[in-house]
């Protein structure tokens, strides 16, 4: 009995000993990764590095542009716009037009008109802006002016064209009521801006607008005056022929003294040519070509009022005759 008990105790001891002895640790297995895993991780890292670099470049560019050019685009465009074509310039020209078409006979009326025009006219221009006050037989009252066209000449200059309506009146012997008539003219106002104020830089002129036909005006700089010769004398004589046709003839008939391909609408008998008061003849870009700056006297056939106006012609020799290639069309020059 004791022997069986001893054997059983011996087996229990061995089991307990085995349970107390440390068990071998199992090796921890690394998780298996799919093929190309490291390549994808490397690509993702490269993408974010490149994205961060591009973001930095764009941010620096935007902030640098803001600091270098703080003015909005609209402000920069406004600075380059010709100020003589702005609404303020048009209003200035319209105010001048209203004063221009107000006149009356007598010394007092003359001085009053001269005073009102003085704030508009550039120094050196006729204080009556071309109106021959010695020939005044009618009183005129401005009734209205409609803007027809604004031409940008550059160099802070423009031509503003209005369709003007005025009422003429005069006393008639033996009549209780004055004689009255209305006149309408296309009137071109040369406007300039000197950085401080607007002004009328040359005498205004009359034109005639028919459909899409317009007349542009400009001025010369750096021209060489033509020496007196038989040919310049012929050019001077040709001016009388041209302005007579310009005021009286139809477009088709006027074309006979124009360069081939040129088309010009005359004054359609709205004004009558009186004379060329003065003419300066300059050498043109080629032999046989001339630029003529002229002061021309025109007369209103309805009132017999006379006006001095400025015209510039490009004239060239065509065989044994002269033709006009353009009128008031040179651009970008200052007087």
Provide mean pLDDT across the span 141-162: 94
User: 3-state DSSP call for residue 164?
Assistant: strand
pLDDT digits (tens, 9 = 90+) for 72-130: 554 444 557 899 999 999 999 999 999 999 999 888 999 999 999 999 999 999 999 99
pLDDT at 273 (0 to 100)? 95
Q: What are φ and ψ of residue 165, in 5° steps?
A: -120, 130
pLDDT at 250 (0 to 100)? 87
pLDDT at 307 (0 to 100)? 94
- Other C-beta atoms closer than 10 Å to the C-beta of 104 total 17
pLDDT digits (tens, 9 = 90+) for 3-13: 666 666 666 66
Q: Domain spans of the chain? A: 81-207, 214-335
The Cα-based distances of 286 to 39, 64, 122 in angstroms read 76, 51, 33
Q: In which band, very low, low, confident or very high, does the pLDDT at 218 lie, cut at 50, 70 and 90?
A: very low
CATH topology for 81-207 is Nuclear Transport Factor 2; Chain: A, (3.10.450)
Q: In which band, very low, low, confident or very high, does the pLDDT at 217 lie, cut at 50, 70 and 90?
A: very low
What is the side-by-side order of every strand in the sheet holding 272-283?
A: 272-283, 289-299, 306-318, 321-327
CATH of domain 214-335: 3.10.450.540
pTM: 0.57
pLDDT at 334 over 60: no
pLDDT at 16 (0 to 100)? 62
Q: In which band, very low, low, confident or very high, does the pLDDT at 162 lie, cut at 50, 70 and 90?
A: very high
pLDDT at 77 (0 to 100)? 46
Q: How far apart are CA 125 and CA 189, in angstroms?
A: 14
Q: How far apart are CA 328 and CA 293, in angstroms?
A: 9
Q: In which band, very low, low, confident or very high, does the pLDDT at 163 lie, cut at 50, 70 and 90?
A: very high
Q: How far apart are CA 10 and CA 5, in angstroms?
A: 9
> Does residue 203 contact residue 130 with C-beta atoms inside 8 Å?
yes
Q: In which band, very low, low, confident or very high, does the pLDDT at 271 lie, cut at 50, 70 and 90?
A: very high
Q: How far apart are CA 241 and CA 328, in angstroms?
A: 18
Rounded mean pLDDT of the chain? 82
pLDDT digits (tens, 9 = 90+) for 183-205: 999 999 999 999 999 999 999 99
Q: Which residue has the higher pLDDT, 216 or 262?
A: 262
pLDDT digits (tens, 9 = 90+) for 300-331: 999 999 999 999 999 998 888 899 988 876 54
Q: Which residue has the higher pLDDT, 38 or 161?
A: 161
Contacts by 161-166, CB closer than 8 A, 24 or more apart: 161/186, 161/187, 161/188, 161/189, 161/207, 161/209, 161/214, 162/93, 162/94, 162/97, 162/186, 162/187, 162/189, 163/187, 163/209, 164/97, 164/101, 166/101, 166/140, 166/141, 166/142
Q: How far apart are CA 250 and CA 139, in angstroms?
A: 31
pLDDT at 176 over 70: yes
Domains 81-207 and 214-335 equal at CATH topology level:
yes
């Amino acid at each position: 009995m004791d022997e069986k008990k001893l054997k059983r105790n011996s087996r229990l001891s061995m089991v307990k000993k085995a349970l107390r002895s440390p068990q071998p640790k199992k090796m921890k297995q690394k998780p298996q990764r799919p093929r190309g895993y490291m390549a994808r991780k490397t690509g993702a890292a490269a993408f974010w590095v490149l994205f961060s670099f591009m973001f930095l470049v764009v941010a620096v560019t935007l902030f640098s542009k803001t600091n270098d050019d703080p003015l909005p685009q609209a402000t920069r465009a406004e600075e380059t716009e010709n100020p003589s074509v702005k609404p303020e310039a048009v209003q200035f020209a319209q105010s001048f037009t209203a004063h221009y078409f107000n006149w009356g006979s007598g010394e007092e009326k003359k001085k009053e008109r001269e005073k009102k025009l003085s704030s508009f006219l550039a120094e050196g221009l006729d204080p009556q802006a071309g109106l021959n006050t010695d020939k005044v037989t009618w009183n005129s009252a401005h009734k209205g002016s409609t803007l027809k066209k604004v031409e940008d000449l550059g160099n802070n200059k423009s031509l503003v064209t209005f369709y003007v309506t005025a009422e003429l009146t005069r006393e008639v012997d033996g009549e209780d009521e004055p004689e009255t008539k209305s006149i309408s003219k296309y009137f071109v106002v040369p406007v300039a801006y000197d950085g401080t104020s607007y002004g009328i830089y040359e005498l205004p002129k009359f034109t005639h607008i028919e459909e899409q036909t317009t007349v542009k005006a400009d001025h010369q700089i750096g021209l060489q005056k033509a020496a007196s010769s038989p040919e310049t004398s012929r050019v001077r004589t040709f001016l009388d022929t041209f302005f007579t046709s310009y005021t009286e003839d139809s477009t088709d008939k006027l074309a006979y003294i124009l360069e081939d391909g040129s088309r010009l609408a005359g004054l359609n008998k709205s004004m009558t040519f009186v004379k060329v008061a003065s003419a300066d003849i300059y050498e043109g870009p080629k032999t046989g070509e001339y630029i003529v700056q002229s002061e021309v006297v025109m007369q209103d056939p309805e009132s017999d009022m006379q006006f001095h106006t400025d015209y510039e012609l490009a004239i060239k020799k065509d065989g044994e005759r002269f033709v006009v290639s353009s009128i008031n069309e040179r651009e970008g020059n200052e007087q």
